[in-house]
């Protein structure tokens, strides 16, 4: 079985296991998704959602964030970790949104990648969730599972993105990544994967070696 065939078999199983897999970050508009995804780096979505409730009541627009006091913003997002760098990027990102895009979140990969704190994972998630553009969203779960299963040998998220693009049907790109997240949280956990209860173990390189 080649990687493309393996991916299709896994998609079939995931479609039954996780028919409603979705982005677990809570947001009401494109700006909230953009900033929450930045805050989610090295942090759980659940923690970001808790922080976001108060944050987006305090700062409602890109202009609000652009004008924020950096020390105050650091305290507002402290519990997400790496808060100094995240606060710096959020302010810089929103300043550019105000200056170049009238406070709106742009809709192309090239434009999104120009924004401070925005990498390909964030850009792909925003493009799919807001603009309906399919993309491979490589977060920590997608990276871990893709390697364990044997869909890639790469550790670099961008290389993993391109590897998955070759073997996963384009119409399933983002949904497949959301389902990898669900499976990573429920079964294929970082410290101790629950292989015996895993319904894709027959396709998994990790399981075949352990």
How far is Cα 22 from Cα 9, in angstroms, rounded to an integer? 20
Residues with Cβ within 8 Å of residue 186, at least 6 apart in sequence:
none
Of the candidates 6, 45, 76, 121, the residue annotated as catalytic is: 121
Mark out the alpha helices in 59-156 (DSSP H runs). 62-66, 70-76, 83-101, 109-113, 120-131, 140-149
Of the candidates 45, 76, 139, 163, the residue annotated as catalytic is: 139
Residue 175 and residue 21 in contact, taking contact as beta carbons nearer than 8 Å: yes
Q: Dihedral (C-alpha) 182, 184, 189, 195: value to the nearest 10 degrees?
A: 100
User: For residues 33-42, b (16+ Cβ closer than 10 Å) or e, as one string?
Assistant: bbbbbbbbbe
Two structure tokens written together for 106: 């742009």
Q: Given the structure tokens 């704190």, which residue do they identify?
A: 117
Helix (H) or strand (E) holding 102: none
Note if 121 is an active site residue. yes
Two structure tokens written together for 174: 């983002």
Which sequence positions are flagged as catalytic? 121, 139
């Amino acid at each position: 079985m080649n990687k493309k065939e393996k991916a299709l078999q896994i998609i079939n199983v995931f479609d039954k296991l996780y028919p409603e897999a979705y982005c677990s970050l809570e947001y009401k508009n494109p700006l909230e998704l953009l900033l929450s995804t930045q805050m989610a780096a090295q942090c759980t979505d659940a923690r970001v959602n808790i922080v976001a409730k108060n944050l987006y009541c305090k700062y409602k627009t890109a202009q609000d964030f652009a004008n924020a006091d950096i020390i105050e913003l650091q305290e507002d997002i402290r519990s997400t970790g790496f808060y100094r760098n995240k606060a710096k990027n959020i302010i810089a990102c929103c300043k550019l949104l105000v200056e170049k895009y009238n406070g709106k979140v742009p809709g192309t990969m090239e434009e999104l990648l120009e924004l401070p704190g925005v990498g390909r994972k964030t850009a792909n998630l925003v493009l799919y969730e807001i603009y309906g553009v399919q993309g491979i969203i490589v977060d920590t779960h997608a990276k871990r599972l893709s390697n364990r299963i044997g869909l890639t040998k790469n550790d670099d998220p961008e290389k993993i993105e391109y590897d998955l693009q070759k073997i996963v049907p384009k119409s399933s790109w983002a949904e497949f990544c959301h389902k990898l997240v669900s499976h990573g949280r429920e079964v294929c956990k970082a410290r101790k994967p629950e292989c015996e209860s895993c319904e894709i173990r027959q396709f998994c390189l990790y399981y075949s070696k352990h």
